[in-house]
Amino acid sequence: MSKDIFEVRWHGRGGQGAKTAALLFGDSALDSGMYIQAFPEYGPERMGAPVASFNRLSKKPINVHCSISNPDLVVVLDPSLIGKVNVIEGLQEEGKIIVNSSLSPKEVSEKLGVKNIKVYVVDASGISKETIGRDIPNTPMLGAMLKVSGLLDFDKTIKGIEIKLKKKFASKPEIIEGNIKAIKRAYEEVKSA
């Protein structure tokens, strides 16, 4: 039943890797023995257009196949979406939101206009520029959400992600190293009000 299922919504812009992050998170959760779903919201697929993707995680098999309207956790890859997309839509009362931003959690809370929702902030763009060399916020945001959700064993997950990245970027070890560093740093640096 739905209360046994942890639901996540990712917000990003086309090209920022919201779909990849959801797939990677789902795949990692699978490695820790959970039942998972990861799916994108398909609309016009254009670079820069607002996009969303989703995860469901559960210890039991997941039957439900409708869209996610009341997520437990929202991850915002791009702070410029705030105000343009209703990123807190349907967020549960005890819900959490993680925003990629260089502002403080208090400032982001004010921008979001929320009181009961726990707001987390990490400068994923800054981290990715330093570790990967480009603004690719999805992997550091994955690190932050691993911390905030607390659902998966971090060390085990990071090892799994490394293996998956090695398959994808066999000829570019620096990309793998940069991404792993980014995930670790975001895991440490994410903070709440």
Work out whether the CA dihedral 26, 71, 120, 124 comes out positive or negative. Answer: positive
- By CB under 8 A, which span of 61-69, 74-82, 107-115, 172-180 interacts with another protein? 61-69
Minimum distance of another protein from residue 185's CB (angstroms)? 26
Q: Which residues of 23-54 are buried (b: 16+ CB within 10 A; e: fewer)?
A: bbbbebbebeebbbbbbbbeeeeeeeebbbbb
Q: What is the DSSP letter of 104?
A: -
Minimum distance of another protein from residue 45's CB (angstroms)? 10
Binding mask 64-103 vs another protein (x if CB under 8 A, - otherwise)? xxxx-x----------------------------------
Residue 1 interacts with another protein (CB under 8 A)?
yes
Report d(CA 8, CA 52) in Å as an integer: 10
Structure tokens at 140: 């550091």
Structure tokens at 68: 């996610």
Nearest to another protein of 5, 108 (CB atom): 5
Of these, 7, 9, 17, 26, which contacts another protein (CB under 8 A)? 26
Q: Which residues contact another protein by CB under 8 A? A: 1-2, 23, 26-27, 30, 34-40, 42, 62-67, 69
